[in-house]
Amino acid sequence: MPLYRDEAALVARAKQFDRAAIAELYRRYVQRIYRYVYYRVGDESTAEDLTAEVFLRALEGLESYSYRGVPFVAWLYRIAQARVADYHRRWGRRGETLPLDEKLVGMDDDLATFAEHREAYEDLYTALQQLTEEQQQVIALKFLAGLKNAEVAYVLGKTEGAVKALQHRALASLQRILGEDE
């Protein structure tokens, strides 16, 4: 767990208003948070604004963060999830999600390689849209953001068992939906 110890040291320094530590935490996590927010709102400008709000809220609430078995990045995702939910409530939109494109997944492959996989991404995107909002959130946090089940549970305010059940149902639904398309 060296990453978390290193992270804990950075957070401790950031709580003391160490600008270098704050900058390092931002650098480490801004792209991950942006991709999650972008996936959930589907608009670059809105995603940039909400990502900035996430880090502003994190900075304002940094004193209240303590490790308690949940890494700092999971705390950031929880803030991001709340900001996205507020955005959708404010604008009366259900969580529109964005197709899994090169911006979202950070593909470094060339355009030809991406084009080969485009149809599969589009099929997956269509299938994801058929999942419930909670299932989409679990899939995004687990597989797009790379969080562990305990971290996803923390972000969504659910038990780890509930997250596992949602993930299982989501994957079974995706398998059924994608199997029907063949």
| Residue 112 confidence (pLDDT) | 59
For 80: left if phi > 0, alpha if psi spans -120 to 50, otherwise beta; the answer is: alpha
CB atoms within 10 A of CB 61: 11
CB atoms within 10 A of CB 57: 15
Average pLDDT for 8-16: 93
Q: How far is it, in rounded angstroms, from Cα 29 to Cα 174? A: 29
- Is residue 110 pLDDT above 50, yes or no? yes
Burial of 103 (0-12, 13-18, 19+ CB in 10 A): middle
pLDDT one-digit tens code per residue, 48-86: 999 999 999 999 999 999 888 888 999 999 999 999 999
Residue 116 makes CB contacts below 8 A (sequence gap 6+) with none
How far separated are the first and last CA of the chain, in Å rounded? Answer: 43
Q: Among 158, 120, 122, 123, which Cα is nearest to 138's?
A: 158
Contact call for residues 32 and 73 (beta carbons, < 8 A)? yes
pLDDT one-digit tens code per residue, 113-144: 656 667 777 778 788 888 998 999 999 999 88
Burial of 141 (0-12, 13-18, 19+ CB in 10 A): buried
CA 139 to chain centre: 9
Q: How far is it, in rounded angstroms, from Cα 59 to Cα 152? A: 21
| Residue 120 confidence (pLDDT) | 73
Domains and CATH numbers, the chain: 1-98 (1.10.1740.10), 102-182 (1.10.10.10)
Average pLDDT for 138-166: 94
